[in-house]
Structure 1
């Protein structure tokens, strides 16, 4: 069951003319719903609008933040999973044309699944990562938005699976650290919390924004956005990843270096304090 252009319908196969399928001509948001509320609604909505503008999609007049929220909640309520759910909203240019589209009008599709937990929890199981160097992220605006072209994440995930890794860290075209396959990267070095800046090519992550704001309120922690080299990772006291669905995922091992997760524990606690009550 999906929400297709505002109508609840059974899932159908992609049409052969669908531009998201043919050319990756789409953008998307993945949101978390807790207790019938879309977390970080405003941030998700404005990032989606910015992404649509970047790729020159026509934004319908009725596509307001209230409409965006209403369409997500309509689906999760229909599926009876509004207590704790994950929803993906894919916006794609309508059919027609080859590389040059015949229209900039859009359609959207929402798919939602049940999540087990309402609060964010910290997974402290072994979580080993390494660098993925087959392909590199370019330092450009398109890298900072969520498009349906995720081939580097797909091939990187296959590489991680084949090598017994939980995740991989991506590099940009100047060989500096950008992010992980499934989230933004943070590094704790002494009293500093460091993450790559958006200009390095990383995703403008919604959870990244929340963690930056929360960490700035932690006494004794200096929050910095700056270049991280692969060599810096082995000097770190702590590494962790962030995304909206998982929250914070500590990295336990990078090559021969093992890490603590002290700040990650504190930030998860502070993050949960911001969530809507039961």
Structure 2
């Protein structure tokens, strides 16, 4: 156990850290600008000091260099965790940062739709707060951890998190979308959901489909059972259709269409 390296690590001690998880395909980081600017915004919100050399180019280079070192630049999942350095208790003695990068090879570079049974339910033990900090990717993910344990204990593939008003916020590992009567909806950021990169991509692409109306709207748990289609989005998996919620089963046609359009956008570069 590397206790010495953790004694003054504020990310470990206080969750004083933010992170980005990116997907690498053919030695390129997908949606790299979105990831970079979200990280910069998160650091500013948490009053971290952004190094002068921490440019978009630098962000991309250090991640790809680590991928090359691990021989997985062709297809990989990479995570950069930025933490505030130095001593102090809740009050840090400085706002300078450091970072660590981890990289793991993945099998499928392009997004694929997984049509196997995927069952979810609502996780009720804890709620997501409706505040700006909930939209950031900080290392304080204990609700997601306990919710994932609950899902495993109950034979579920995922769980849906509610906010303080008992409305839908997100899934354990991504944003949630519902399709009802050709209206595609996802909770607005004001509901406490993560400001997801794939969420942004799906919103933009769905708006190009003439038969679909797209909106950000409050979603209640009752709306889930009335939906024609439900799916979860995140950068690594892409789109994960929900096939079963309680006694209701769902279609996957729009999810299939969106996956094809996202892959086409990636191929075009």
TM tier relative to shorter chain: over 0.9
Q: Which residue of 2 aligns with 1:107?
A: 98
Residue 46 (structure 1) aligned to one of 25, 37, 54: 37
Q: Report 1:187-202 matches (<5 A).
A: 187-202=178-193
* Aligned residue among 123, 132, 148 for 2:123: 132
Give 3-state SS (helix, strand or coil) of 2:266's partner: coil
Correspondent of 1:120 among 111, 120, 138? 111
Deviation at 1:222, TM superposition (A): 0.2
- Pairing partner for 2:253 from 256, 259, 262: 262
Alignment partners' CA distance in 1, 2:5 and 2:39: 22
Distance apart, 1:276 and its partner CA: 4.0
- What displacement does 1:95 show? 2.5
Per-residue Cα deviation, 1:147-187 (whole angstroms, up to 9, x for no partner):
00000000100110100000000000000001000000000
Structure 2 residue aligned with 1:238? 229
Match of 2:198 among 207, 210, 223: 207
1:197, 1:227 within 8 Å by CA — same for their partners in 2?
yes
1:226 aligns with 2:217: yes
Which blocks of at least 5 consecutive residues in structure 1 are unaligned? 1-10
Distance 2:18 2:249 in 1: 36
Does 2:107 match 1:153? no
- Which residue pairs with 1:18 in the alignment? 9
Separation in 1, partners of 2:249, 2:262: 25
Question: Paired residue for 1:63?
Answer: 54
Of Structure 1 and Structure 2, the greater helix share is in 2
Which residue of 158, 163, 167 maps to 1:172? 163
1:77 to 58, 68, 73: 68
1:190-246 Cα distance to aligned partner (Å, 9 max, x none): 111010000110000000000001100112100010000000000000000000000
Counterpart of 2:63 in 1: which secondary structure? helix
Asked if the contact 1:37–1:276 (Cα under 8 Å) also holds between the matched residues in 2, the reply is: no
**1:103 alignment partner, SS class:** coil
Shift of 1:17: 1.3
Aligned Cα root-mean-square deviation (Å) = 1.4
Do 1:14 and 1:21's aligned partners in 2 also have CA atoms closer than 8 Å? no
Superposition TM-score, scaled by structure 2 size: 0.97
Separation (CA, whole Å) in 1 of partners of 2:74 and 2:133: 34
**1:16 Cα deviation (Å)?**
1.4
C-alpha distance in structure 2 between counterparts of 1:240 and 1:177, whole Å: 13
Q: Which runs of 5+ in 2 are unaligned?
A: none
| Displacement after TM superposition at 1:79 (Å) | 1.4
Q: What residue number does 2:265 align with?
A: 274
**Secondary structure at the residue paired with 2:126?**
strand
